[in-house]
Structure formats: structure tokens, C-alpha cells
Amino acid sequence: MSVLEQLFYSAPGQVVAEKLGLPEPEVLRRGRKLPAGAVVTASLAGSTLATDTLALLGVPIDSALRDDGAEPPTYPERIGAVVIDARGLRQLVELEGLRTVLRPAMKGLEASGRIVVLADAEVEGLEANAVRQSLDGINRTIGKELRHGATSNLIYCSPGITGAELASTMSFLLEGRSAFVDGQSWTVGSPLTPLGELAARPLLDRIVVITGSARGIGARIAGVAARDGAKVVCVDVPAAGEALAAVANRLGGTALQLDITAAAAGERIAAHVASRYGEQARIHGLVHNAGITRDKLLANTDAARWGQVIEVNLAAQLRINPVLLDGRPGGLGDDARIVSIASTSGIAGNRGQANYAASKAGVVGLVRAFAAEVAERGITVNAVAPGFIETDMTAKIPFVQREVFRRTNSLGQGGDPIDVAETIGYFLDPASAGVSGQVIRVCGQNLVGA
Ligand SMILES: NC(=O)c1ccc[n+]([C@@H]2O[C@H](COP(=O)([O-])OP(=O)(O)OC[C@H]3O[C@@H](n4cnc5c(N)ncnc54)[C@H](O)[C@@H]3O)[C@@H](O)[C@H]2O)c1
């Protein structure tokens, strides 16, 4: 039984759940697993991007749903996923095609099934822009209406994008790796540098550094990177040294005891990588995961609480990144991946978390600006914004408040650290070169700021 299920079935958990009239949480499909049912595609305006991408991934497409004008369209008995290619839509009246295709799918989708909508990132004209944004509203609504762990997400595709450039995103969305990503939209484009190939172990022999990886989400990120072939460098404060060593040993990686707020933190990371993996070694992935909370209403927040949170969650990244990008041995290589952890608190704001929200919103700003700066080197910069994830950090939240947080999202449950880790794995993938400057919420479509 998962931690979530244990809590659900605990006496206090049941009382709160009953009071709120909440259903039992669905056990979500996770990992590198495709839907069991048929993958159906529909192209609304003649684009072949969806079918091209699925063909590259080797996903068999059930062509039972065709744009043949039949109403309602015919579907296979068991629908695992519906991939709707809505590129080329420019008129409001064309949204009717989307309604037609979606309507039967809303009832027939299997548990943990997927709806994926592809749309144009850039369109011209007022009506076309209205249509583009309508798709976002539809996607968010479907996310809220689907049941049994099924999700809907929308990908805005840059002009000229190829199936190969979209493949890592499509694979992530269809597989169980995206279990807790729901009602979200982000943009995928064409990278300026060559695209890495899709692989079963995409990080094979690449070095990935994860801060704050002695426990919680960081330890799971390290686990996913190691599963995907990476040599992991686990970083955490000296006080967490024992747990850190255990994580690194278990994953065949190395441990670096380091407070990331130290003035020479970037230099220490590079020196560790160069000494343990050789002068020629370069970091492929840098995951800024370490984070702290010091919650108080702003009226009661003193300078120490304010400063510590900004330092760990944001300022440290601003100091470490340029050091690792200056070409030194053990620094970041070309085509590297930088990933930060933001939070839905930074997007929506959260009572009692002005310092934390400031730091996490700052991460979003940093990621967006930084992505443009390093694009020519083939480096991507992205962030994950977790909602309520079951970890030691959220275990500190008072019980009733915690129970409300974990359930007020479209999937009716808290996320697992693996959900954040898998999304980071998607960003780290060399085949995700066209994904940069993006912030993906891993929150089960949390109602807060949705
Ligand atoms: N758990 C959630 O629901 C949630 C939601 C949104 C965002 N996040 C973010 O995800 C990240 C991981 O969260 P978690 O829940 O696993 O937290 P956690 O407290 O369980 O783990 C954080 C780790 O970071 C380490 N750390 C703290 N300060 C450090 C420093 N100065 N130098 C090096 N390491 C340091 C800690 O020792 C700890 O091992 C954080 O950035 C957090 O803000 C978590």
C-alpha cells in the first residue's frame, strides 16, 4: 500500500475524506509504461505531426477514429489515449471538430488514459489567437472532468517542428511518467543544435548533479537519472551526510557534502566532478532541487527567515550557474540540461509563504530569462513546479490542512516524489533539446492557481 493509500485508509484520513465527500484515490499508472488500450489519433486540419511522431516512437496507432465526418466518430472498445492534432485551426467554428472528437473519448478513456492536444505555438490574427487560447481553456476543463487518473495536456508546437523534435514529449505524455501532470500546457520547438536520439536509457554514462538529494524528491530524481543510465553526483549538507552516502552508494554514484549557499559552491561541484570522473568530464544535467521552507505570515517574518529561504532556493543557483558555465574542468558541457524546482506556491502565492513564493517565483523568472541566454550552446533550462507531493517537507504541514492540500486537485491525491523526478528526467533527456524555458506544474491540476 502506498503512503497515500495508507493515509486514506487511516481513521483520521477517512473522517476528513468523508467530510469532504471525496472519492478513493485512483492508483495511477506510473513508469515507462504506455496505455494498455488503443492509441487513437485525430487530425483536425490536415497536420500529420501526431501520426509522424507516434510512428517514430513505434506506437501502434488505432485508426478507428478518422476525420470522416461520422457523428459521433467510431472508437475502439478500449481507448488508452486520444492524440488530437489541432494544428492549423484558425477559426472558432473549427473548434466544433474538437468537441466532436472529444465527446465520446470523455466517457470511454481507460483509467490513467491520456488526452494529448497539439496546437500551434504561433498564429496570426485575432480569431486565430482566440482559437489558440480556447484550446487552453478546453484542455484545463477536460483535465477537471476526466476521472480515474486520466489526464489531458496541451502542447504548443513551434512552426516547422518535426516528429523527432516532439518525440520525447509525446513519449513522456503517453507513458506513466507523466502520471501527475494534468491540465498543463507548454511549448516545444526546434533546437538550435542537433537533437539527441531517443533511447531506452537516454542518460547512459552522462553525469547528472542533483542538489538536496539525501532524501525526498532529490533522492528520487537521482534514482530516475541512475535508472536512465546516468552517473549521479548527489549533493547535500554535511548534516545529511549519512543519508546522502546511502543514496549515492545505492545508485552507484558519488556523494558531495556541500552547503549550496557556500560562496565557492560552484567551484566545489566542478572540482568534485573533475577529480572523480576526470579532467575531461563535463556535467550533462544540473538539477537545482535543494530547497527549504520557513513559513510564517509576512507580518511575522523576520530577516533571517526571509534571507535563508531566498539564499537556498534562489540565490545559490544564481551563483552556481555561471561558475559551472565558464568552461572549467568538471563544469557544464555543451548541450547540458539545467533544471530547477519551482513550486505552485510561487505561481499562485500561498498564505504564510511570502518568502518561499518569492524564491520559487524567482526561479520561474530565472529559468525563462536564462534559457534564451544559453540557447546557442544547446543548453536547455527548465523548471518543474510541484504541487502537493508526499515528502518529509509536506509531512510538517498540520494534518487537516495537509489532507485538504493533497485532495484539492483533479486527481484527488497527493503526488509521489517519482512524479517530479520523471518530469525532470524528461527535461534531462538529450532528445528534449527543443524544450527550454518551460515550467511544468506537477500538481495533478491543483485547484490553487490552476
Ligand atoms: N514536497 C512538496 O510538496 C514540494 C512542493 C513544491 C516544491 N517542492 C520543492 O522540491 C524540492 C525538494 O523538496 P522535498 O519535499 O524533497 O524537501 P526535503 O526537505 O525532503 O528535501 C530537501 C533536501 O535539500 C537539502 N538542503 C536544504 N538546504 C540545503 C543546502 N543549503 N545545501 C544543500 N542541500 C540542502 C536538505 O538537506 C534535504 O535533503 C525543494 O526545492 C522544494 O521546495 C516540494
Buried/exposed code over 246-283 (b: 16+ C-beta within 10 A; e: otherwise): ebbeebebbbbbbbbbeeebbbbbbebbbeebeeebbb
| Site to substitute for ligand 1 among 3, 224, 233, 236, most atoms within 8 A of C-beta | 236
Active site residues: 356
For residue 117, report the distance from its CA to the centre of ligand 1, in Å: 33
Cα–Cα distance measured from residue 222 to residue 334, given in angstroms and rounded to the nearest whole number: 21
Q: Which of 180, 181, 213, 217 to mutate to test the pocket of ligand 1 (most atoms within 8 A of CB)?
A: 217
CA–centroid distance, residue 109 to ligand 1 (Å): 36
Name which residue leads in pLDDT, 146 or 403.
146
Gap from CA of 286 to ligand 1 centroid (Å): 15
Question: From the alpha carbon of 259, which atom of ligand 1 is closest?
Answer: 32
Q: What is the pLDDT of residues 40-95, one digit of tens each?
A: 999 999 999 999 999 999 998 876 555 555 555 677 888 999 999 999 999 999 99
Q: Which residues pair with 156 in a beta bridge?
A: 119, 187
Side chain identity, residue 420: V
Measured from the Cβ of residue 367, the count of other Cβ atoms closer than 10 Å reads 24
Of 221, 292, 312, 413, the residue with max ligand 1 atoms within 8 A of its CB, to mutate for a pocket test, comes to 292
What contacts 395, CB < 8 A, 6 or more positions away?
402
CA distance 46 to 64: 17
- Give kind and range of the element (H or E) at residue 271: helix 265-277
* CA nearest ligand 1 atom 1, residue: 389
* Distance of alpha carbon 131 from alpha carbon 125, whole angstroms: 10
What lines the ligand 1 site, CB under 6 Å?
211-212, 214-218, 236-237, 240, 259-261, 289-292, 312, 341, 343, 386, 388-389, 391-394
* pLDDT computed for residue 78 by the predictor: 87
> Who contacts 141 (Cβ-Cβ below 8 Å, separation ≥6)?
none
* pLDDT of 234 strictly over 50: yes
Q: pLDDT-derived band of residue 381, with 50, 70 and 90 as boundaries?
A: very high
Write the residue with the smallest CA distance to atom 42 of ligand 1.
291
* Residue with CA nearest ligand 1 atom 25: 212
Q: Reduced to 3 states, what is the DSSP secondary structure of residue 23?
A: coil
Q: How far is CA 183 from CA 21, 114, 151, 156, 160, in A?
A: 23, 11, 7, 13, 25
| Cβ burial, residue 55 (10 Å; 0-12/13-18/19+) | middle
How far does the centroid of ligand 1 lie from the alpha carbon of residue 167, in Å? Answer: 31
Q: What is the DSSP string of 365-399?
A: HHHHHHHHHHGGGT-EEEEEEE-SB-SHHHHTS-H
Tell me the residue type at 342.
A
The pLDDT of residue 107 is 84
Q: Which contacts of 296-304 are long-range, i.e. CB under 8 A and separated by 24 or more positions?
A: 296/352, 297/351, 297/352, 297/354, 298/354, 301/354, 301/355
**Among 316, 310, 439, residue whose Cα is nearest residue 384:** 439
| Residue 20 confidence class, pLDDT cut points 50, 70, 90 | low
- Do the Cβ atoms of 88 and 47 come closer than 8 Å? yes
Question: CB-side exposure of 126: number of CA atoms within 13 Å?
Answer: 0
Q: How many CB atoms lie within 10 A of CB 236?
A: 28
The number of the ligand 1 atom at minimal distance from the alpha carbon of 342 is 7
The pTM (predicted TM-score) of the whole model is 0.94
All domains of the chain in start order, with CATH: 38-188 (3.40.50.720), 207-442 (3.40.50.720)
CB atoms within 10 A of CB 94: 15
The x, y and z cell numbers of residue 301, run together, are 517574518
Nine cell digits for residue 247? 543514496
The overall longest dimension of the chain from CA atoms, in Å, is 65
Q: Which residue, 428, 260, 265, is CA-closest to 333?
A: 428
Q: Does position 9 have pLDDT exceeding 50, yes or no?
A: no
What distance in angstroms lies between residue 210's CA and the mean position of ligand 1's atoms?
11
Summarised one tens digit per residue, pLDDT across range 247-275 is 999 999 999 999 999 999 999 999 999 99
Gap between the Cα atoms of 176 and 141, Å rounded: 21
Q: Which of 43-47, 128-132, 239-243, 285-289 has the lowest mean pLDDT?
A: 43-47
For residues 180 and 192, the model is more confident at 180
Here the cell at position 348 is: 499562485
The CA 291 to ligand 1 mean position distance, Å, reads 4
Q: What is the mean pLDDT of residues 281-306?
A: 97
